[in-house]
Structure 1
Amino acid sequence: MRPHTARRGALSRALPRLLGSLLLVTAAGISSACAAPEASAAGGAPAASEPRPLGQIVPAPVSVRPGGSPYALTPATAIRVDGSSGEVRRIGEYLAGVLRPSTGYALPVTDRSGPGGIRLRLGSADTSLGAEGYTLTSGRGSVTITARKPAGLFHGVQTLRQLLPDRIERDSVQKGPWKVAGGTVTDAPRYGYRGVMLDVSRHFFSVAEVKRYIDQVALYKINTFHIHLSDDQGWRIAVDSWPNLATYGGSTEVGGGPGGYYTKSQYKEIVRYAASRYLEVVPEIDMPGHTNAALASYAELNCDGVAPPLYTGIKVGFSSLCAAKDVTYRFIDDVIGEVAALTPGRYLHIGGDEAHSTSHEDYARIMERAQAAVGRHGKTVMGWHQLTGASPVEGAVAQYWGYDKTSAADRQQVVDAAKNGTRLVLSPADRVYLDMKYTADTVLGLKWAGLVEVQRSYDWDPAAYLTGAPADSVLGVEAPIWAETLTDSDDIDAMAFPRLPGAAELGWSPAETHDWDTYKLRLAALGPRFTAMGIDYYRSPQVPWPAEPAED
């Protein structure tokens, strides 16, 4: 990992602050409180021999009932899974893969019943858990995670990870003890859509880098991975019927680097890997603007029949597909068809933002035909909120990225569409665009939507953000990260963390738990875990980070 402290100064120069005590958040449905132990001399984490309080996780759980003796992992611990489900066994193997390197324990995964251990069970009778909720019960003899569906077990595993000491995330053997506080956590998400978006078009990210980000966000119960596959600067997915899109349109990136693209097998590997972490992939093919890479690849897609040069800058709004040509709609149908065939998820995102070079009439015509193609290939339409200026089809999802300067008329257009049945995913740019600069001194990122410190990113309510939109029109929250200035995983780390966990909490946790003063303490406690995971995060002065020991 390349240290941002040396490379970027301002991203990490805020001095770590001592955390006096860690407070347990009081969530809706908590039947009793559990005081956090006194801060250690190291700066705020519980002493090594003391378990982390049950409520000290992100996202905040629905209900916590602490009590009883803690559970401790030992060399004899086994992970016991339901014998009837191969999917539960896979979750057990995933958990073992997380825990083995740092504990050094064998942690066999078995479907044999027996006393003690970590138990993963399907079949909860609690209907309030839905498809993603879980119950975690810890005591002297065992930790049991119960859920109605495998996704709930997986999310419960993420809670178990956070309840174990931070060093559980390291990839070499660490000293114990490995205790989990006694009691019960009952948890389920507020919203069904909790997403991140990664822009691989402005700068290309390898399959390994994409997998790394998927692993990072899964810890916070994110369930949707939106991947921005095409833009002016690069086309990133192989399309058999239009091969130049990838081989030529994908041959560069912002600043003139080598670019790259995913073969179909590589894209399917990303989809498979995301599914193994219970994330649904939403591919985006942007149109009618943000299309210079396609226009450069095929001259016939341009109204004048002349291909523009490849583009490596960061301006927007200058490119457009040609609404008057039949070949445009053959292109759209071919691309959507091939991408849809590779993607088992429900949604296909057709962009639709910043089409400044497209007349309103042409925009409406192209988006109408594109939406029809999405439906024809068995997917549900997603688009940026400008889609509401055309005619969203029944069931379409509009992703709102407006911000404080967005006009009242534009906001009302989205609200009116929501009232007419269009569903919404909220991604306000001045709140959860993870590529916005934290401060004026931040080296990475842009600031067209403003400066977005950690508190601002967290401190808003999705249910109240668009005044007048029906509450049931909001599917959830997504935190995009655009890559004009980001070139590798270190850059993603610096901008996504620590803001990403807050966006995840907005999507998962009950509204009653939403409180900056308690959240910042739970976030501060994640600092050593970020470090253990190799994440060189931004040490925001708004967060009372505990002191961390110097790394070797």
Structure 2
Amino acid sequence: HLSDDEGWRVQIPGLPELTDVGARRCHDLSETRCLLPQLGSGPDNQSGGGYLTRADYIDLVRYAQAHFIEVIPEFDMPAHARAAVVSMEARYRKLMAAGQPQAANEYRLLDPQDQSNTLSVQFYDRRTYLNPCVPGSQRFVAKLVSEVAAMHREAGQPLQTWHFGGDEAKNILLGGGFQDLKGTDPGKGKVDLAKQDKPWGRSPACQALVSSGQIKSVDDLPLRFARQASGIVAGQGIATMGAWQDGVHGAAGASDFATAHTLVTEWDTLYWGAAQSASDLANKGFKTVLAMPDYLYFDFPYELNPREHGYYWASRDTDSYKVFSFAPDNLAQNAEVMPDRQGKPFAVTSAAAPARFAGMQGQAWSEIVRTDAEFEQRVYPRMLALAERAWHKAAWERPYQAGETYQLGVTHLVDKAALNADWQQFAAVLGWREAPKLEKAGVRYRLPMPAVQPGSGPYAVATEWPGARLQYSTDGRSWQTYQPGRQVQANYWRGVSQDGSRVGRAETVSGQ
């Protein structure tokens, strides 16, 4: 994921502004020299700045090729493109000042007359979307694909898949959850929805396409641009274009696109209908990759605890067991094992025809991650559970059967005893074998928290995995190692790595 609103992360020959401006943060309100600081990162590029040089990227791809890994670059567009848009505006101003108007407009990504009043999901204005109606946008895509494909050829791994992005090209205020200021209930509504626009709603360049009959409305623009991008990708000899499910919304099927294959990353939650939508996409010929946020987004907290960092819009707690319990080939089954984000049961019926999915994918969005250590804690050990489910179908995963309904606490179709026995075996391997290997490799995985029964004590304490080490304290300052099976009277508990070099956060026993 090499571009987003908050930064551009790889050097592109001929477009130095992408990294000179889009990969840096400073206090420059004109955003000619840099992007403004995002999400409290500060202006000094110590958190949130930087990029891969062309040589860095080639080395990375070459290393991946030597380890049998395919690199799939993603450059998100037309939304989540603020870093690119701002960078190309800086380029425009520089070249106009130099008296080169043709060059200035070559890769400009905005319609300068667009006055659309929009707010993106990340709370940015209209500059978060590149404008698909101006010629600079297609030239930009062509330049980008050409340069990245050349890097892959030089690295010895010809580019097979280009991920277009395509997600969240919308005005969040026009979606669910926002009520009109002029609504019937005087106690609700703070937004005048009549003054809100869809992306590109007031762009003269886009309105010209509507007037000429090339599109019915601006709603058609994201899919139209995705099709145009697929033509550019196919023209470079790349067999597959990928997109998030939003990017193909409205398409009849994979044949709508110019590439031989179209890969779609499905990111609905199961309680929002992911089982149905994923099956629909697969049965329309898309190579569908499962990326359900309630199971596979690793920027969410491991546990429901106010001291546990992470977003919570799709899941308030996603521990390794939850990832391990995911049944990818029978998505409805998961509704019998885990609740929704509010801890409430929901029902899913296997209504669609059986579908074959291309794979599954874990995400670790880094916009609120400050350090490498924090990133590794988000990813490990959940990634090991993801790998287990991606590579091995367990006996407790039920065969898909249309018409079956699953709901936690209501149906009893899943062999949960077999699931838990399988987890115990996996957890033992994780605790006794894989965790020490991760430590030896310098990977700072998340240390499991102790499970302490509330009450007055003394306590016999459990851990998430066998072999995990714990420490306890009576004063929160001096710590002793817990010996499994012992009962201890102590107020403070924390996890510790097997080599003793790292400790987890300390928690106090409830009621102490």
For normalisation by structure 1, the TM-score amounts to: 0.54
Q: 2:294 matched to 1:430?
A: yes
CA contact (8 A) 1:431 1:458 kept: no
Counterpart of 1:398?
264
Alignment of 1:499-514 (within 5 A): 499-512=382-395
> Post-superposition shift, 1:289?
0.3
Rate the CA distance shift 1:456–1:267 in 2: closer, same or farther, 3 A: same
For 1:347, which of 161, 168, 176 is the aligned residue? Answer: 161
CA contact (8 A) 1:434 1:482 kept: yes
Bigger radius of gyration, 1 or 2? 2
Q: 2:245 matched to 1:455?
A: no
SS of match in other structure, 2:331: coil
> Post-superposition shift, 1:384?
0.9
Counterpart of 1:272?
62
Distance (whole Å) between structure 2 residues aligned to residue 519 and residue 453 of structure 1: 14
Q: 2:50 matched to 1:260?
A: yes
> Post-superposition shift, 1:456?
1.0
Q: 2:5 matched to 1:229?
A: no
Alignment of 1:135-534 (within 5 A): 228-252=1-25, 254=38, 255-256=41-42, 257-258=44-45, 259-299=49-89, 300-304=108-112, 315=123, 319-343=128-152, 344-357=158-171, 358=199, 359-379=218-238, 380-391=240-251, 392=254, 393=257, 395-406=261-272, 408=273, 412-439=276-303, 440-450=305-315, 451-465=317-331, 467=350, 473-512=356-395, 515-525=422-432, 526-534=434-442
Rate the CA distance shift 1:471–1:348 in 2: closer, same or farther, 3 A: farther
Distance (whole Å) between structure 2 residues aligned to residue 521 and residue 326 of structure 1: 57
Q: Deviations over 1:439-477 (max 9, x none)?
A: 224543222221211111211111112756666631111
SS of match in other structure, 2:72: strand
Q: Deviations over 1:325-384 (max 9, x none)?
A: 111111111112211222324111011111114442111111111111111112210111
Query: Which ranges in structure 1 are unaligned for 5 or more consecutive residues?
Result: 1-227
Rate the CA distance shift 1:441–1:278 in 2: closer, same or farther, 3 A: farther
Distance (whole Å) between structure 2 residues aligned to residue 456 and residue 317 of structure 1: 36
Query: Which ranges in structure 2 are unaligned for 5 or more consecutive residues?
Result: 26-36, 90-107, 153-157, 172-198, 200-217, 333-349, 397-418, 449-462, 470-497, 503-512
Distance (whole Å) between structure 1 residues aligned to residue 23 and residue 149 of structure 2: 20
**Letter in structure 2 aligned against 1:330:** R
> Post-superposition shift, 1:404?
3.5
Distance (whole Å) between structure 2 residues aligned to residue 508 and residue 416 of structure 1: 23
SS of match in other structure, 1:430: helix
CA contact (8 A) 1:301 1:328 kept: yes
Is the deviation greater in 379-388 or in 498-507? 379-388
Q: Deviations over 1:87-121 (max 9, x none)?
A: xxxxxxxxxxxxxxxxxxxxxxxxxxxxxxxxxxx
> Post-superposition shift, 1:307?
12
Rate the CA distance shift 1:395–1:327 in 2: closer, same or farther, 3 A: same
> Post-superposition shift, 1:405?
4.2
> Post-superposition shift, 1:315?
4.2
Distance (whole Å) between structure 1 residues aligned to residue 59 and residue 435 of structure 2: 31
Distance (whole Å) between structure 2 residues aligned to residue 314 and residue 501 of structure 1: 30
**Letter in structure 1 aligned against 2:359:** G
**Letter in structure 1 aligned against 2:169:** A
Q: What is the CA RMSD across the aligned residues, in angstroms?
A: 2.8
> Post-superposition shift, 1:546?
3.4
CA contact (8 A) 1:539 1:545 kept: no
Distance (whole Å) between structure 1 residues aligned to residue 109 and residue 370 of structure 2: 30
For normalisation by structure 2, the TM-score amounts to: 0.57
CA contact (8 A) 2:262 2:286 kept: yes
Rate the CA distance shift 1:527–1:334 in 2: closer, same or farther, 3 A: same
